[in-house]
Structure 1
């Protein structure tokens, strides 16, 4: 019995449409919630604004509600950078406005308890929301666009040889070169990395949102990074939206060791360290030929007596590291939540949002908050970082 192409395609068509409609309904419901709570808080809940204020405010929210999905589809679906930048900024602003409109109900309750009546009570709440949101967006934009501060972390590793005691690992991740041209920022980041005088430099994935041809100008400063022993790179999930193999080839061309399910061994003063890397957790499902996280292959041929430093983009790849006896895994991906309180949602998908954690008897995991930002150009209570890890004998 044989299957024709038509026999394969035709049964799938009815199942796709309901899924697409369900996706549209879910997204629409989320957008309605994101906009309706601020509308109620700012314009409706006992504020008794003049009609002109209500009409103008409602019109503005409706215009953003309509424009937002269109800008995101045009920007990220059809790769129009200006539309993507505007859509991303609006998305971040709407999220912050929604969050603080919800939290403002605590202020409303407090004013009620103290006997403040409407419309004063509701107008005070609305004014407070506007002031807080504008302040957070301004601060969050500055935080997102600045060159990250260096975070210093000491990590004790059992079995680390005397010659590698004190070895310095400079870690960047999630640079996300994208629709906002950050070429000067990129150069400044690499200058700061070079000032650390590291032995090993790591980029732990999500270089860019776009192909190497489109983002090469922003990514070019990566070629200037210096390290005494090695410069190593692994893919993140965003590479699998934009020519993952192209980014591996690009990084190899500018002199980085691409750890595409492989390892290298670094040595100093007679002591050795295995530095391994695996593809992102989404690589296999992406359908990119020859890609898929494979730690067994990455460590094939490595001396089991040597300590292992593993680069894996997502923290949730740590169970495989524990099973393989990895000493330290370096990950990014979470951005520390990027815009509070999104970190609580990230925690539903990842075992760790940020920082150093222990898993099993041997394995430690360091999760960076990321060097750049994705999407909305804001970082609220989740500062970016360049990480300098100093490995110590345990």
Structure 2
């Protein structure tokens, strides 16, 4: 009897979880689309009936279409047109949501100043729509442009004098995706090659989609020039589908896939260990041998040599500290990508952007990312190609 009850209870629990997830998702969507709808259309602006009806229909269609577009675009079918439409909708509605909240704070100020409706609500709606439109256009331009070069000097006390001035270029989160950016990719490589790098690193999230689907966009990576090494580690997006295929693709393009292993760079009689670990999500991917294994990555390395570690997520820095790493370079955060999302990122990661210190020895550099994920927008979070110049202590 007990076994029978347990068997019957399992499907019930699954239904309860599914219903709870559906309720939470529905609430989020209604809030995300509802706040802008109320602010722009349904507050005390007293718009003509046609304006209210048209605005309401547009928001209703968007809130219904959005989940379907995301499933079609990012689910098993991976329809690029649906992904572009869904991602763009997400970016636009997030900007509208954020500035609708700010607009309703303005509403309170106007009310305190004695401004009555419908003037008050119309001023708020115009301000929200105007600011959002400017930010969406500017954010699109920022997302699609070739990233600026960000130059950072990092002093490593254990770095030998022969390696002083070593130039390390960091690419990360290129996210080749449903918008064809093959020309953008080629231009990024041209900028990298102008930097005369000793080591070029890619810390994961190469693409959204499979190798064959993104072959043309990733092809320019084969033209990257580096004096000593081109090193790559997986990001979490590789584990959404084809991690091993992407490792093979990078090897085909002439990169060293540092799958929990290291190589050694030598110049002027001094040496640097360049190590890499899998993304922290690798262990849950089901792929045999995939997990972040710092001990394996550093196995056989001289413990007296300084270590440069490639790890996709900043939160992997705890293990880097435990293993005596001198500098970890990471991406993943995108610098928040669309303000003020960086506040949410900070809840999950120890840093969002820039150089930070962890423990007595370890430094961490977190890049804003070279490309973008999802919405083709970057608002107050510039993309970057990072040039790290290592200095002897």
TM-score (norm 2): 0.97
Q: Please tell me whether residue 191 in structure 1 is matched to residue 190 in structure 2.
A: yes
* Structure 1 match to 2:324: 325
Say which SS state the counterpart of residue 150 (structure 1) adopts: strand
Unaligned runs of 5+ in 2: none
CA–CA distance in 2 between the matches of 1:89 and 1:382? 17
CA–CA distance in 2 between the matches of 1:216 and 1:16? 39
Deviation string, structure 1 residues 40-85 (Cα, Å, up to 9, x no partner) = 1111221111111110100100010111001011111120000000
* Structure 1 match to 2:268: 269
CA–CA distance in 2 between the matches of 1:56 and 1:164? 65
**Pairing partner for 1:60 from 58, 61, 85:** 58
Mapping for residues 78-117 of structure 1, pairs under 5 Å: 78-117=77-116
Q: Please tell me whether residue 304 in structure 1 is matched to residue 273 in structure 2.
A: no
Deviation string, structure 1 residues 334-393 (Cα, Å, up to 9, x no partner) = 000000010000011000000000000000000000000000000000010000000001
Unaligned runs of 5+ in 1: none
Deviation string, structure 1 residues 293-327 (Cα, Å, up to 9, x no partner) = 00000000000000000000000000000000100
Mapping for residues 1-394 of structure 1, pairs under 5 Å: 12-77=10-75, 78-394=77-393
1:105 positional shift: 1.6
CA–CA distance in 1 between the matches of 2:332 and 2:96? 24
Say which SS state the counterpart of residue 303 (structure 1) adopts: coil
Say which SS state the counterpart of residue 347 (structure 1) adopts: helix
CA spacing shift, 1:200–1:283, aligned 2, 3 Å? same
CA–CA distance in 2 between the matches of 1:334 and 1:316? 10
Deviation string, structure 1 residues 96-119 (Cα, Å, up to 9, x no partner) = 100000011222122222221110
CA–CA distance in 2 between the matches of 1:240 and 1:185? 24
CA–CA distance in 2 between the matches of 1:10 and 1:285? 28
CA–CA distance in 2 between the matches of 1:138 and 1:214? 28
Say which SS state the counterpart of residue 388 (structure 2) adopts: strand
CA spacing shift, 1:9–1:150, aligned 2, 3 Å? farther
1:15 positional shift: 3.4
Deviation string, structure 1 residues 217-249 (Cα, Å, up to 9, x no partner) = 100000000000100000000000121000111
CA–CA distance in 2 between the matches of 1:240 and 1:23? 23
Say how many residue pairs are matched: 390
1:9 positional shift: 9.0
CA–CA distance in 2 between the matches of 1:138 and 1:12? 49
CA spacing shift, 1:263–1:12, aligned 2, 3 Å? farther
CA–CA distance in 1 between the matches of 2:180 and 2:8? 44
User: Which has the larger displacement, 109-118 or 368-377?
Assistant: 109-118
CA–CA distance in 2 between the matches of 1:219 and 1:21? 40
CA spacing shift, 1:338–1:9, aligned 2, 3 Å? farther
1:10 positional shift: 8.0
